[in-house]
Amino acid sequence: MRKTSVFLPILTFAIAVAIFVLDTVTRTEITASMLYVSVVLLSVRFCTTRGTVVVAAICMLITLGSFLLTTRYRLDWSYPVLINTGMSLVVQTVTTYLALKIEAVRDAARDLAETNQLRDALLGSVSHELRTPLTSIVGGVSVLADAPSLAQDKRLTSLAKGIRDEAMRLNADIQNMLDAARITSKGLQARQDWTEPSDVIGAAIDRVANRYGRRIEFEGAQNLPLVHLDPVLVEQALGQIIANAAKFSAADSKIIVTAEVEDKQLVVSVGDKGVGLTADEKSHITERFFRGERHLGKIPGSGLGLWIADTFIGASGGWLKALSAGENQGTTMQVVFPNIRYVDETDIPPQDA
């Protein structure tokens, strides 16, 4: 909320009185009405809402008083004078209303931005505090699940693996919140270097395959060029995309990852045979916190994964595209990197004529 010093109402009142004197002595009604509007706009900028209303009411009363004094002492009740006074009052009223509305929207936007910053800071802090004990839980339960003494008891083995899987899912959600806090706080800095894309793709595939136990095949073209990117961010982004494909497709289906050069750009595709995308989902899929209505309550998630992936890929100079023939027709997410370089010119594939 804006604070008002004692000086500002006195200043605006003095300006209004000066305009009143000018209006009464010189009879420059049109100029005076515009000056009254300026006083109202000045009060909107520096005074509270109540102060602005008071200033606007004073300006309109002074306008009306100037009209009455002019007509009384100069006997000028002509039609133009009446119209000019009425229009002046209408302009001041409309200006006050619109200016207050605009200022209210600005205040709301400012409050929303501050709320979002506080929320992101809180999420980042809480997530960081949860990360340390959760890492210990994941490590301990993983050792417990693989212990030979538990192998003979299928019930305990299943229980230990269930705890491990849920702990790993929670760990991934916390990592998403940490990444979201880093993005919104503008702390994301890409460290790009010429990188072998197969290594980055392979690391992302291994991480998701170990977590979900899914069959993921990589079909990379021969002699892929080096790509100028941040390998850490891109690995995390591809992991998000592959994990998303695993969540939204059947457990026994296959996920195919391909990498090839098209139009002098490296295109990495992640395809699944899952639930597909509707037209609305396709247009909003990389938005923060977006989740399709048909998946709410059925498939867990926060709506951050693909937004984080899109941001990380953008920081490395690439972009993300979603392709789908429709609902239950599968989805292909394409990651395009335009900045490529071949180590050996003989590796450059021939271009189609």
pLDDT, position 120: 67
Q: Output DSSP code: residue 224.
A: P
pLDDT, position 123: 66
Distance CA 175, CA 46 (A): 44
pLDDT, position 195: 94
Q: Is 92 helix (H, G, I), strand (E, B) or coil?
A: helix
Distance CA 327, CA 236 (A): 27
Contact 141, 160 (CB under 8 A): yes
Q: Is 304 helix (H, G, I), strand (E, B) or coil?
A: coil
CB within 8 Å of 60: residues ≥ 6 apart: 36, 89, 92, 93
User: What is the pLDDT tens value at each position of the chain, 353 positions in all?
Assistant: 454 445 555 665 566 666 656 655 655 554 556 666 777 777 776 777 777 777 778 777 777 776 676 655 454 555 566 666 677 777 777 777 777 787 788 888 888 777 777 766 666 666 667 777 878 888 888 888 778 877 778 888 888 888 888 888 888 887 887 787 778 777 788 899 999 999 999 999 998 887 888 889 999 877 899 999 999 999 999 999 999 999 999 988 999 999 999 989 999 999 999 999 999 999 999 998 898 888 887 888 888 899 999 999 999 999 999 999 999 999 999 999 998 888 765 555 555 54
pLDDT, position 17: 63
pLDDT, position 26: 58
pLDDT, position 325: 92
CATH architecture of the domain with residue range 193-347: 2-Layer Sandwich (3.30)
Distance CA 28, CA 291 (A): 61
pLDDT, position 346: 53
